[in-house]
Amino acid sequence: MLPEARYYRPAEKLSWLVKQFEFITYTGNEALTDKFVPREDVAIVFHFRNRPRMVTPVDQTLPPVFIAPLTPTANSICLTGGIDSMIVICRPTVLSRLFGINLTPGSNIWVPAPEKLLLPVWEEMRNGRTDAARMDIFAAFINSLCSSGYVPDDTDRSYELIIQKGINIQLHDITEELGVSERTLQRRFRDRLGASPKMLIRILRINYLWGITSSGGKIDYHDLVFMGNYFDQTHLIKDFKSITGETPETFFRRNLRVARIFSGK
């Protein structure tokens, strides 16, 4: 039995922060373990019943509310029955500025949530009966924090430029278009994203290839190198294994249904 995953786009008035709402429920008896593959965004995660357990790189039960930052490598997670979770996918530079937090993952791999802000929201949403009710509660909370409207700054624009340009962009193209030095760009991302621009581009490439490659089919490395804008096959395999922990051959040939749910695909 697979977990049930439901995805919703946010209302326009919330899209300055939220990219997607994800809800996962699981009532099966079987323990399900697979990977969360790094994404180019971050998430506020709410667990209302049983909490999943992170298996690697750190063996620990996840807290009821936390922030999942942009990480350079895949994490293995185990679900057991009784899961009722809400995941709010956010624009990282906006979230870090709004909450005044650093998104660099510590030894726990997750970032502690600002409890005074988020625990009352978690409590209210836990009593919500529907996905829509929970999304409304969250939207009201976020808009109360920024009632006058959010104005993007240079760091937000830097992040969005990389996301919009996608896998074909080079770092010097970004610095040239923004009129900033590479050192300035690196500093902005370290403070507000918790990762470098180069790491963001690498993660974009992996997720792009996952989106266009079907599981179980023949792996054409020539096509993957070309589509992912890699230098050569060695570059592709090294980068892919560094982030997912598996070669493209191994990753795409196995059953990825659970990994897709864990990774919000």
pLDDT for position 183: 86
Q: Which CATH superfamily is domain 154-262 in?
A: Homeodomain-like (1.10.10.60)
CB 222 within 8 A of CB 234: no
pLDDT tens sequence for the chain (265 residues): 889 999 999 999 999 999 999 999 999 889 999 999 999 999 999 999 999 999 988 899 999 999 999 999 999 999 998 999 999 999 999 999 999 998 987 767 889 989 899 999 999 999 877 999 999 999 999 999 988 889 999 899 889 988 988 777 777 878 887 788 888 888 888 889 989 888 999 999 999 999 888 766 677 888 889 888 888 899 999 999 999 999 998 999 888 999 999 998 8
pLDDT for position 217: 64
d(CA 190, CA 185): 9
Every domain of the chain with CATH number 2.60.120 lies at: 4-145
Query: How far are the Cα atoms of 14, 136, 153, 163 from residue 143, in angstroms, in the given order?
Result: 8, 11, 18, 24
111 HSE (CA, 13 A, CB side): 23
d(CA 258, CA 238): 24
Class of domain 4-145: mainly beta
d(CA 265, CA 259): 8
Every domain of the chain with CATH number 1.10.10.60 lies at: 154-262
Nearest to 149 by CA among 6, 262, 14: 14
pLDDT for position 216: 62
257 HSE (CA, 13 A, CB side): 6
d(CA 248, CA 237): 7
**Backbone dihedral angles phi then psi of residue 110, each to the nearest 5 degrees:** -115, 160
**Backbone dihedral angles phi then psi of residue 166, each to the nearest 5 degrees:** 75, -155
Q: What is the DSSP letter of 13?
A: G
Nearest to 85 by CA among 137, 23, 21, 10: 23
Looking at the chain, list the stretches that DSSP marks H as alpha helix, in order from N- to C-terminal side: 92-99, 115-126, 131-145, 154-165, 171-178, 182-192, 197-212, 221-227, 233-244, 248-253, 257-262
SS3 7: strand
Contacts of 153 (CB under 8 A, 6+ apart): 97
pLDDT for position 241: 95
d(CA 24, CA 252): 23
Give me the sign of the Cα torsion angle 204, 186, 233, 173. positive
SS3 150: coil
